[in-house]
Every structure is written in structure tokens, then in C-alpha cells.
Amino acid sequence: MTTLVMKFGGASVASVTQFMQIAQIIGERAEDFERLVVVVSAMGDTTDDLLKLAHQVNASPPKRELDMLVTVGERISCSLLAMALEKIGLAAISFTGSQSGIITCDKHTEARVIEVKPHRLLPHINKGKVVVVAGFQGVSRQGEITTLGRGGSDTTAVALAVALGAERVDFFKDVPGIYAEDPKVNPEAQLYQALTHQEALDLVRGSNHQVLHERSIVMAQKNGLPLHLLSFKEALDKNKSSGTIIGGSLKKSPEPFYEEIQ
Ligand code: ASP
Ligand code: MG
């Protein structure tokens, strides 16, 4: 069975039009893969807006309540995407992180993924439905809702790919891939076509713009999982999407490795 995990960031799910465009991109990938899981971030600035709201109510909000609040952002985008997919005739169903079996430690706002038990997703995935998962969130063994830290949806995508034995994760970003320098500062900056996990990690650690959540690269490296970064805008044009491939030639680990509790 061929399995692909796709991840769409906040900038690519910022509007109704974009949900419809993403549905088209997913439809194209559905022709090449038997099993498709899609992870989404919250729409645009939703997470920042929710955090602002929390701090207006209480200058030092309890972290548990922050997690209850901000996880709503991803829940909005995963349900809307499932609706957009159904509209174009693709069977789809959305799940929260907790429903998807993303088990984390209990450190609210910065939880680590310790295990993934996707048994609620499997019957739908195996029936050929597009399963859409809310990124950035999980559940502790005590049943509390947790989040994985800012930008954590990338790590959700990798954790699910590891659990499902996916071929790779495709990340749709607002930039075409990883550059030697920030392309917004230097438009001539070189785009890397292929990197090892270690090279990608060093680049992400050395820059203040986290093009990928660092922990997602660490987890992919441990599991020999290739990652493909490409631009959401370029993906709309089939002939244009190249991007950056990370760890393209690695052997997959036979056993899943998630994160260490900090
Ligand atoms: N929405 C969350 C954030 O803005 C998670 C993510 O985007 O990956 O940090
Ligand atoms: Mg976000």
C-alpha cells in the first residue's frame, strides 16, 4: 500500500478559496497514492489571535486552558478541509489529534509525542477516504488535551507518517523550499534541491525562520523518513513544483521512534 502524508501550513489555509485550491491539490495526489492523510495548521493568524484573546482575559492563563483554547484553531481548518474535499467528490473525514491517537507527555503547551495509535483512522484510510487531522495537538495518558509547541503541526505530520509507514511527507509552505539565505532578504538566495536530515537540521537551527519545526526533522531522521518541502502556490501548477527533498535516499527504520520526554 502506498501512503502519503500531506501537510498544509496556516498560510495555505488562510481563506475559503485556498481550501478549495488545496482540495484540488489533494485530489491530484489521490491519483498516485492509495492512502492519504492530510495534516493542517490553523487558518492564518488564528493561533496568535486566540493567544491574544486569552491574555486579555488573564495575563497569566493556566497552560491547560491555553491548550483547550488554541487547539480549536486546527479543529476549524480540518473540518473545513473535509467539507471542501467532499464538495469536489472526494470522500473525507476529519479528526482531532486526540481522536487520531497522538499520545503525548503531559507538558501543556510544549508536549512531546511519545506514541501514535492511529486505530480510529485506519478503517477510513484503508477504505480510501482522505483522513484530515488537526495538527499541533495530542492527548496525554491522563486524557488531557495538549499542544506540541508553536509550529508543531509539522511534527504531527511526521509522527503520523512514521506510525503509518508512509513513503514521505509533503509539506506545502509559503516558500518553495529551504534556501541558503532568507529569500525575502536576498531574492537571489540559492534553493537547495536535496539535503540530508542533518543538513536540514543545521540550516533550521542556524536561522531564525523555522521553515520546518525542528522536532519534525529530528523525528524523520530517526526513522529514515524523507520529507519534501514545496510551495503551495507552485503546487497549483503541476509542472512547476520542485522544492527541497530531505533525506531522499534513506532506508526506512523497521520500528517507529517518536520523541523523548524532556
Ligand atoms: N497553529 C499553530 C501555530 O501557529 C501550529 C502550527 O502552525 O503548526 O503555532
Ligand atoms: Mg500556525
Q: Is 184 a residue whose pLDDT tops 90?
A: no
Residues framing ligand 1 (Cβ under 6 A): 10, 41-42, 47, 73, 135-136, 150-153
Residue 122 lies in a domain: yes
CATH number of the domain to which 173 belongs: 3.40.1160.10
Q: How far is the CA of 110 from the centre of ligand 2 (A)?
A: 15
Q: Is 50 a residue whose pLDDT tops 80?
A: yes
Q: What is the average per-residue pLDDT within 212-217?
A: 97
* Beta pairing partners, 245: 194, 228
Q: Is 175 a residue whose pLDDT tops 90?
A: no
pLDDT tens digits, 148-171: 999 999 999 999 999 999 999 999
Residue 254 lies in a domain: no
Of the listed ranges 70-74, 177-181, 207-211, the least confidently predicted one is 207-211
Beta strands in the chain (DSSP E): 3-8, 35-40, 92-95, 102-104, 113-116, 130-134, 137-140, 145-147, 168-173, 194-195, 227-231, 244-246
Q: What is the average per-residue pLDDT within 139-147?
A: 98
Residue 253 lies in a domain: no
Residue 111 lies in a domain: yes
Give the percent of the chain with pLDDT over 90: 85
Give the pLDDT band of residue 201 (cuts 50, 70, 90). very high
Q: Is 139 a residue whose pLDDT tops 70?
A: yes
Q: Is 208 a residue whose pLDDT tops 80?
A: no
Question: What average pLDDT does the chain have?
Answer: 94
Q: How far is the CA of 73 from the centre of ligand 1 (A)?
A: 9
Domains: count for the chain: 1
Q: How far is the CA of 63 from the centre of ligand 2 (A)?
A: 18
Give the position, in ligand 1's atom list, of the atom nearest the Cα of 150: 9
Give the position, in ligand 1's atom list, of the atom nearest the Cα of 151: 8
pLDDT tens digits, 111-130: 999 999 999 999 999 999 99
Contacts of 245 (CB under 8 A, 6+ apart): 193, 194, 195, 226, 227, 228
Instruction: State the pLDDT at residue 148.
Output: 98
CA distance 243 to 206: 20
Minimal CA–CA distance to 137: which of 80, 181, 77, 92?
A: 77
Instruction: State the pLDDT at residue 75.
Output: 98
Minimal CA–CA distance to 31: which of 90, 76, 73, 83?
A: 90
Residue 236 lies in a domain: yes
Q: Is 85 a residue whose pLDDT tops 70?
A: yes
Instruction: State the pLDDT at residue 27.
Output: 96
Q: How far is the CA of 149 from the centre of ligand 1 (A)?
A: 8
Residue 165 lies in a domain: yes
CA distance 142 to 233: 41
Residue 252 lies in a domain: no
Q: Whose CA is nearest to atom 6 of ligand 1?
A: 151
CA distance 262 to 113: 11
> Which residue out of 45, 150, 172 has the highest number of ligand 1 atoms within 8 Å of its CB and is therefore the one to mutate?
150
Give the position, in ligand 1's atom list, of the atom nearest the Cα of 152: 8
Whole-model pTM? 0.96
Q: Is 238 a residue whose pLDDT tops 70?
A: no
Amino acid at 228: H
Q: Which residues span the domain enclosing 118? A: 3-246
Q: What is the average per-residue pLDDT within 206-213?
A: 85
SS3 content of the chain, % helix, strand, coil (to 5): 40, 20, 40
> Which residue out of 13, 41, 173 has the highest number of ligand 1 atoms within 8 Å of its CB and is therefore the one to mutate?
41
Residue 257 lies in a domain: no
Contacts of 91 (CB under 8 A, 6+ apart): 85, 127, 128, 129, 130
Q: How far is the CA of 151 from the centre of ligand 2 (A)?
A: 6
Instruction: State the pLDDT at residue 239.
Output: 62
Give the position, in ligand 1's atom list, of the atom nearest the Cα of 74: 1
Give the pLDDT band of residue 134 (cuts 50, 70, 90). very high
Q: 262 or 110, which is more confident?
A: 110
